[in-house]
A and B are shown apart, each in its own frame.
Chain A
Amino acid sequence: MIKYFMSLEWKSFIRSAAFKQNLAFKIFIGFFAGLYGIGFLLFGGGVYYIIEEFIQEGKITGANPLEVVNRFLIYWFVFDLVFRYFLQKMPVTNIKPLLHLPFSKGKIVNYAIGKTVISYFNVLPALFFVPFTVVLFIEGYDSLGIISWHLAALAITLSINFLNIFMNNMDKVFYPVAIIVAVLATLHYHNIFDVTIYTQPVFSFFYENWWSFLIPVLLCYGLGKYAYTYFKNELYLDAGLKSVTKEASTEDLSFLDRFGKISTYLKNDIKLIKRNKRARMTFIMGFIFIFYGLYFVMLDQEYMMIFAALFSTGGFLFSFGGLVPSWDSSYYKLMMSQNIPYREFLLSKWWLMVVVTAVSTVLSLWYVYFGWDWLFAILAGAVYNIGFNSSVVLWGGAFVKTPIDLTSTKKAFGDSKAFNVKTLLLIIPKMVLPVIIYYAFAFMINDAAGYIALASTGLLGLLFRNKIFTLIEQIYKNEKYDTIAAYAQKN
């Protein structure tokens, strides 16, 4: 029986559309997974000596490294839980076609839960605990105690895994807990109240009493059993396997009608962003980019100011605009057979990007706190983004042919389209050119000339917008059939 499950799993892996489309992307992800794994291994092996040194230098107070680790272990596990809550999902989709086949429900549940046990989320903590434990052995800690401590840590990790199974979709429980932990961490950081003083003995207890690992192991067993029954009871199409549907809300956006013909599309785009996870995520990410400049402020790398300004004001522009026709991929055939001139369609996206970029710019004005230079950079970058990049981004989008599944948040943080050569080339006018323009004038004349040159290029772009749009329109027409065919492929 397990043989069938294994072969199903393997086929779903190698036959997924994403796998075929972009082997490079898979290798890239695999590379990072490997890198993290090695990172955890080294961290597990080295952290003992790092802490030891810190204690000697007096940077951390503690009797020995194990005690220090025990103090911070609570944060480790909380972080583990949060991480899983957002990223680890129950493998529910593959289950539906198995339901009516002659498998017992118990087997299906065991298969699904077994899959979570061997997931990367469990391997990663083990990669830390195993080398750390080995180091403890070498450093002459009590063997029985270490084994007990190690088993306890792994059992807790596994318990979190099971906890996550029935915590899925329990926002009401999750968010209050997350807030409490965040508050405790803040209090700890400001030395007001240190929760680790109370949790540290718990973890030390596992080391000091060799039999104590039984407690978390039993807890883990109990949670596993509970996860099993919980999942088994949910194994109905109208219970746990039901896809969640939200009640529809309609909104009156008729105030946008003043924008004339493009308002039709603009209203749709706003609904697109409001009602679809993936689009909403991109929208929020766009605003998080506003703080990107802080990174350069902290590094004190002022020469990257232009770069930072472009990103802070244009986060949404790059993340949303770069995928422009793809947002409409699920109904692209409709768009192509309806009465829709390309120009109006593009223009509505353009306006959306321009308005959001303008808002981001206003929200980025506080950078003036770090000096007038920052303000000038932000303003010049914003003009360049609005005038020139907004068109270039649409141009690049014409070559993007990855369909977007609006309802899923997967791939929201990194898309395989990054490996499209044409879109990569278009980074040059988007990011490199403005930096060159600025420095050409800043070195030859002065900083002010650099800002003015940058803003002027943006204004020129605005002036030639219609010309650029005619060009983009032509590309859209040439790519039409390819795009339709590509969007018709479902993942």
Chain B
Amino acid sequence: MITINNLSKKYDNSTVLNIEHLEIQKGQSIGLVGNNGAGKTTLFSLLLDLIQPTTGNINSHGVQVDQSEDWKPFTSAFIDESFLIGYLTPEEYLYFIGELRGQNKADIDALIASYSDFFNGEALGQKKYLRDLSKGNQKKVGIVAALIGNPEVVILDEPFANLDPSTQIRLKKIIKGLADDPNVTVLVSSHDLIHVTEVAQRVVLLEKGEVVKDIEKTAGTFEELETYFKDISESYAPVILEEE
């Protein structure tokens, strides 16, 4: 279980994130949506202790993440390219992460084989370093690396962006599989409302750093979200007209 208490992050005087209380049950899959600057990546960075909270804290499975490092063994994430080691080949990178997570080469080979449809014959075995791969293929490697070693908390920031349509469909299948596992908590952010409502069991909507909506997914969730974002875009439209 992940508990967020009184969490806020301020830069100078602007508050980029302010969450009073949020609880995520073990095994849940959470979809995080929000416009640019809503605080999605900030929240993920706080969850991974990459930035320091201004107030409050996050407790992950009984570990306060900014106090102890014991959350690391059961948490894995792919946020952006800075999670990739550019001078390794994809295979070497996966072996490296595997070694860090206590997996041997055979385990990783088995894992790679099981995701062969996800890679779709690309990215692997191309005699290229990660830095020379296309953005989409880099992302595939990063996502698979985040699944190594049976993590209990998986954090993926914008995993669908830059992926081709077939890979998006395969990724949805993978995330749904994780969501069905009662031991794995998944946190996924996306700008694509269709993807999010499809894979998540619960959707959290951030706006300017605050939780605006927190809903269990039902048949009407997609419409609800779409209406919300439509309203925002329309409420800004007159302002633009006035300026012209």
Q: For the complex, what is the distance from the CA of A268 to the CA of B86, rounded to whole Å?
A: 11
Please report which residues of chain A, range 233-251, place their CB below 8 angstroms from some CB of chain B when the two chains form the complex.
245-250
Given A250-B92, A271-B92, A339-B73, A333–B82 Cβ distance below 8 Å?
A: yes
Query: How far is the CB of A404 from the nearest CB of chain B, in Å?
Result: 12
**A330 lies within 8 A of chain B by Cβ:** yes
Query: How far is the CB of A263 from the nearest CB of chain B, in Å?
Result: 8
**A488 lies within 8 A of chain B by Cβ:** yes
Query: How far is the CB of A283 from the nearest CB of chain B, in Å?
Result: 14
**A485 lies within 8 A of chain B by Cβ:** yes
Q: Is the CB of A337 within 8 A of B72?
A: yes
Q: Is the CB of A271 within 8 A of B72?
A: no
Tell which of A247, A333, A485, A488 touches B83, judged by Cβ atoms closer than 8 Å: A333
Per-residue B-contact encoding for A332-365, CB less than 8 Å = 1, 0 else: 1110111111000000000000000000000000
**A193 lies within 8 A of chain B by Cβ:** no
**A406 lies within 8 A of chain B by Cβ:** yes
Per-residue A-contact encoding for B81-93, CB less than 8 Å = 1, 0 else: 0111111110110
Contacts of B72 in A (CB 8 A): 337-340
The total of chain B residues at the interface (CB under 8 A) is 34
Contacts of B51 in A (CB 8 A): 481, 484-485
> Which stretch of B124-132, B215-223, B226-234 is in the interface?
B124-132
Given A337-B72, A340-B100, A332–B82 Cβ distance below 8 Å?
A: yes
Q: For the complex, what is the distance from the CA of A336 to the CA of B129, rounded to whole Å?
A: 22
Contacts of A84 in B (CB 8 A): none
**A409 lies within 8 A of chain B by Cβ:** no
Contacts of A21 in B (CB 8 A): none
Q: Is the CB of A406 within 8 A of B77?
A: no
Contacts of B82 in A (CB 8 A): 330-334, 487-488
**B48 lies within 8 A of chain A by Cβ:** yes
Query: How far is the CB of A153 from the nearest CB of chain B, in Å?
Result: 44
Q: For the complex, what is the distance from the CA of A332 to the CA of B84, rounded to whole Å?
A: 9
Contacts of B117 in A (CB 8 A): none
Query: How far is the CB of A255 from the nearest CB of chain B, in Å?
Result: 14
Tell which of A248, A330, A331, A339 touches B129, judged by Cβ atoms closer than 8 Å: A248
Tell which of B50, B77, B85, B92 touches A331, judged by Cβ atoms closer than 8 Å: B85
Tell which of B77, B85, B89, B100 touches A248, judged by Cβ atoms closer than 8 Å: B89
Q: Is the CB of A333 within 8 A of B89?
A: no
* Chain B binding surface, main DSSP class: loop
Query: How far is the CB of B64 from the nearest CB of chain A, in Å?
Result: 15
Which residue on B lies nearest to A276, using beta carbons?
B87
Which residue on B lies nearest to A481, using beta carbons?
B52
Query: How far is the CB of B10 from the nearest CB of chain A, in Å?
Result: 14
Given A333-B50, A337-B49, A484-B50, A268–B85 Cβ distance below 8 Å?
A: yes
Query: How far is the CB of B77 from the nearest CB of chain A, in Å?
Result: 6
**A105 lies within 8 A of chain B by Cβ:** no
Tell which of B76, B79, B87, B88 touches A333, judged by Cβ atoms closer than 8 Å: B79
Query: How far is the CB of B83 from the nearest CB of chain A, in Å?
Result: 4
Q: Is the CB of B87 within 8 A of A271?
A: yes
Q: For the complex, what is the distance from the CA of A247 to the CA of B126, rounded to whole Å?
A: 9
Given A264-B99, A481-B51, A272–B84 Cβ distance below 8 Å?
A: no
Please report which residues of chain A, range 36-70, place their CB below 8 angstroms from some CB of chain B when the two chains form the complex.
none
Contacts of A406 in B (CB 8 A): 86-87
Q: For the complex, what is the distance from the CA of A332 to the CA of B87, rounded to whole Å?
A: 14
Per-residue B-contact encoding for A143-172, CB less than 8 Å = 1, 0 else: 000000000000000000000000000000
Q: Is the CB of A336 within 8 A of B50?
A: yes
Q: Is the CB of A250 within 8 A of B83?
A: no
Please report which residues of chain B, range 91-136, place their CB below 8 angstroms from some CB of chain A when the two chains form the complex.
91-92, 96-97, 99-101, 126-129, 131-132
**A407 lies within 8 A of chain B by Cβ:** yes
Query: How far is the CB of A381 from the nearest CB of chain B, in Å?
Result: 33
Given A331-B86, A334-B85, A268–B96 Cβ distance below 8 Å?
A: yes
Q: Is the CB of A338 within 8 A of B52?
A: no
Given A250-B89, A330-B86, A485-B51, A245–B96 Cβ distance below 8 Å?
A: no
Per-residue B-contact encoding for A316-339, CB less than 8 Å = 1, 0 else: 000000000000001111101111
Contacts of A271 in B (CB 8 A): 87-88, 92
Q: A330-B85, A341-B69 are in contact. List 20 more A-B contacts (CB 8 A).
A: A248-B132, A250-B91, A264-B100, A267-B96, A268-B96, A271-B92, A276-B87, A337-B49, A337-B76, A337-B77, A338-B100, A339-B73, A339-B100, A406-B86, A407-B131, A481-B51, A484-B50, A484-B51, A485-B51, A488-B82
29 A-B residue pairings within 8 Å (CB atoms)? A245-B129, A245-B132, A247-B128, A248-B128, A248-B129, A248-B132, A250-B91, A268-B88, A271-B88, A271-B92, A276-B87, A331-B82, A331-B83, A333-B79, A333-B80, A333-B83, A334-B82, A334-B83, A334-B84, A337-B49, A337-B50, A337-B76, A337-B83, A338-B72, A338-B97, A338-B101, A340-B72, A481-B51, A484-B50
